[in-house]
């Protein structure tokens, strides 16, 4: 108890220096606490928005050497968009998903980029072929403005409310059910067109330029539009087996290239039938194999979106899913919601990384200031520490006293700063931070940003502050222990 009183007395012996250091730590804690809570709230808001309206908690895709998300390899509106590979093990995958206890619901989508137009108005859009029976249960935050989702299966299309308003402004008339939309895709030397009829309009809670161009459509038409056919999914070995290679030369013709210039063979007339015009015409008449390869693969999907149960953690679901897939020998790519969402979510994580780097610089600067102030304090107390040593104070007592002073100063100030930050954040959370910029709305997952005060962050912050204080005390303690009673006496005589 005596050492605590002594530590408090030593701190208040130099109130200006103590107050200066304390204010620096309080301000640093206040800024870090508020910024971290706002960014944490932004992460929570974006996660809630994207999980509930776009990606689900986990997305399964085809394995690929290139990383891609639900929009492809980059943001959805790009000119050099590459097609998303289809999942080959869909038929085997669905029974495995049904056995997972951590999965509340799941749905499948086909994703592609199209040029969607109506009566001369067109926009490059992301088209999702969906199963309306399951899609809206996995993504409950999608709000239907009007229309029947079941009509999607009959060649229908649902467009975003913002997309619809832009079209209505251009056409100078309201859109109505049954309006004809044309989707066009140009890829790999081919050009495909499909016609959809307007079945309804929907909206997202957190609209953005990318999300506003998403259209939901009949999965069968989308498959044919982006070439999810049996011929597209056939393997090289299968393709070689389906093609009959005919030997056009005589049965006993040599395979040597030198025999092509052998005049003896030129003198022998080949009596075999060879290729005739009639044979070619008969071959072209048989289109059964071609038609089979061009048939839409009704089992082909780009992604399978999973929604976890409320009482299951994301890490637990991923572990359960990984084990089940490995046991069934199914090779698919498992993506978190932020990986599937692409650049929007990754931008927020980049912002958080930049903030963390800034915090490190701030802590390093405060660390140096703290050490410098403590060293000055120890040098000014040479006589006091030497006298304590002369009176029989052990080295351990000096260590405890100096370390306790530093911990009381840093932890006490950090706790005050965090408490002030919590009071401010509680006031902000009541009304939220209203966002008007479309980029910020899409980045933070909504028009209203609510800071999130995490108890775990407070604990880790205080633990980090304590470790930093202990680190800062190493040199001052070493300096204090190096002071001998003789130096204290000589310092007092001087």
Three-class SS of residue 335? strand
CB atoms under 10 Å from CB of 282, counted, come to 10
Per-residue confidence at 259, pLDDT binned at 50, 70, 90? low
Q: Is the pTM of this model over 0.75?
A: no
Q: What is the pLDDT of residue 236?
A: 37
Q: What is the pLDDT of residue 253?
A: 44
Tell how far CA 261 is from the center of its chain.
65
Among the listed residues 339, 368, 280, 403, the one whose alpha carbon sits nearest the alpha carbon of residue 6: 403
Tell how far CA 106 is from the center of its chain.
19
Q: What is the pLDDT of residue 139?
A: 92
Lowest-confidence region among 48-57, 58-67, 224-233, 317-326: 224-233
Q: What is the pLDDT of residue 183?
A: 92
Q: What is the pLDDT of residue 478?
A: 76
Mean pLDDT throughout 341-345? 69
- Rg for the chain, CA atoms, rounded: 35
Q: Return the structure tokens found at 98.
A: 């049904």
Better-scored residue on pLDDT, 258 or 390: 390
Mean pLDDT throughout 298-323? 88
Question: Would you say how long the chain is, in residues?
Answer: 494
Better-scored residue on pLDDT, 371 or 219: 219
* Residue-wise burial string across 341-352, b where 16 or more C-beta atoms lie within 10 A, e elsewhere: bbebbeebeeeb
Per-residue confidence at 188, pLDDT binned at 50, 70, 90? low
Q: Return the structure tokens found at 300.
A: 């082909």
Q: What is the pLDDT of residue 276?
A: 65
* % residues pLDDT > 70 (the chain): 71
- Report the mean per-residue pLDDT for the chain: 76
HSE, side-chain direction, 13 A CA sphere, residue 481: 15
Spans of all domains in the chain: 2-49+346-493, 63-232+295-331
User: DSSP states of 172-222 as a string?
Assistant: TS---TT-EEEEEEEETTEEEEEEEEEEEEEE-SS--TTGGGEEEE-HHHH
CA atoms of 405 and 395, how far apart (whole Å):
16
Among the listed residues 84, 31, 16, 40, the one whose alpha carbon sits nearest the alpha carbon of residue 333: 84
């Amino acid at each position: 108890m005596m050492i605590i009183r002594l530590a408090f007395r030593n701190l208040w012996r130099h109130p200006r220096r103590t107050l200066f250091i304390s204010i620096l730590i309080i301000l640093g804690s206040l800024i870090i606490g508020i910024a971290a809570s706002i960014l944490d709230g932004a992460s929570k808001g974006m996660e809630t928005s994207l999980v509930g309206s776009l990606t689900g908690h986990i997305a399964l895709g085809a394995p690929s050497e290139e990383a891609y998300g639900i929009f492809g390899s980059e943001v959805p509106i790009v000119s050099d968009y590459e097609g998303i590979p289809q999942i080959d093990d869909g038929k085997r995958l669905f029974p495995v998903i049904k056995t997972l206890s951590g999965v509340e619901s799941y749905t499948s989508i086909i994703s592609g980029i199209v040029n969607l137009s109506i009566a001369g108005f067109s926009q490059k859009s992301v088209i999702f072929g969906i199963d309306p029976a399951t899609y809206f249960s996995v993504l409950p935050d999608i709000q239907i403005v009007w229309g029947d989702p079941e009509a999607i299966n009959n060649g229908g299309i649902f467009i975003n409310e913002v997309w619809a308003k832009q079209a209505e402004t251009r056409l100078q008339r309201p859109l109505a059910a049954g309006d004809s939309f044309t989707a066009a895709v140009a890829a790999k030397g081919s050009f495909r067109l499909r016609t959809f009829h307007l079945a309804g309009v929907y909206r997202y809670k957190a609209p953005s330029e990318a999300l506003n161009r998403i259209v939901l459509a009949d999965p069968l038409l989308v498959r044919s539009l982006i070439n999810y056919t049996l011929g597209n999914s056939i393997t090289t070995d299968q393709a070689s087996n389906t093609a009959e290679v005919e030997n056009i030369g005589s049965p006993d013709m040599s395979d040597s290239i030198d025999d092509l210039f052998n005049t003896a063979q030129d003198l022998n007339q080949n009596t075999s039938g060879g290729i005739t015009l009639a044979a070619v015409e008969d071959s072209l008449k048989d289109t059964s194999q071609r038609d089979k390869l061009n048939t839409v693969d009704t089992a082909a999907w780009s992604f399978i979106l999973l929604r976890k149960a409320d009482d299951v953690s994301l890490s637990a679901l991923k572990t359960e899913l990984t084990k089940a897939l490995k046991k069934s020998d199914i090779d698919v790519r498992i993506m978190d919601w932020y990986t599937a969402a692409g650049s929007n979510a990754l931008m927020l994580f980049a912002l958080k990384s930049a903030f963390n780097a800034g915090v490190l610089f701030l802590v390093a600067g405060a660390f140096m200031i703290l050490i410098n102030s403590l060293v000055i304090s120890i040098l000014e107390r040479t006589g006091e520490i030497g006298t304590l040593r002369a009176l029989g104070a052990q080295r351990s007592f000096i260590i405890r006293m100096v370390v306790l002073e530093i911990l009381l100063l840093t932890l006490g100030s950090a706790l005050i700063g965090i408490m002030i930050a919590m009071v401010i954040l509680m006031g902000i959370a009541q009304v939220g931070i209203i966002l008007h910029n479309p980029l910020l709305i899409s980045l933070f997952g909504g028009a209203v940003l609510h800071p999130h005060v995490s108890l775990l962050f407070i604990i880790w912050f205080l633990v980090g502050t304590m470790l930093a204080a202990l680190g800062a005390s190493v040199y001052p303690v070493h300096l204090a222990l190096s002071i001998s009673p003789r130096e204290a006496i000589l310092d007092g005589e001087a």
